[in-house]
């Protein structure tokens, strides 16, 4: 089973090693984390509207980060 994109984004905010890896290679880090292909594509294309929609659909508050 794939890990959640929202969990991945939350962990980027709390896990310094994951954030460092993400900054070096976002797609490889998302792949290694176990995200689904659809979620990896969101990371690859920087489709922040899709991320926002995921948060809205989940009922979780959006937290803005710059990486």
Q: Where are the domains of the chain?
A: 5-58
Please tell me the predicted confidence (pLDDT) of residue 62. Answer: 63
The answer to whether 18 and 9 have CB atoms below 8 angstroms apart is no
pLDDT at 21: 98
For the whole model, what pTM was predicted?
A: 0.80
By CB neighbour count within 10 A (0-12 exposed, 13-18 middle, 19+ buried), where does 5 fall? buried
In this predicted model, what pLDDT tens digit does every residue of 24-43 receive, in sequence order?
999 999 999 999 999 999 99
């Amino acid at each position: 089973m794939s890990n959640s994109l929202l969990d991945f984004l939350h962990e980027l905010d709390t896990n310094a090693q994951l954030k460092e890896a993400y900054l070096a290679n976002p797609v490889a880090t998302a792949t290694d984390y176990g995200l689904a292909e659809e979620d990896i594509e969101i990371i690859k294309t920087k489709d922040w509207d899709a991320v926002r929609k995921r948060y809205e659909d989940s009922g979780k508050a959006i937290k803005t980060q710059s990486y």
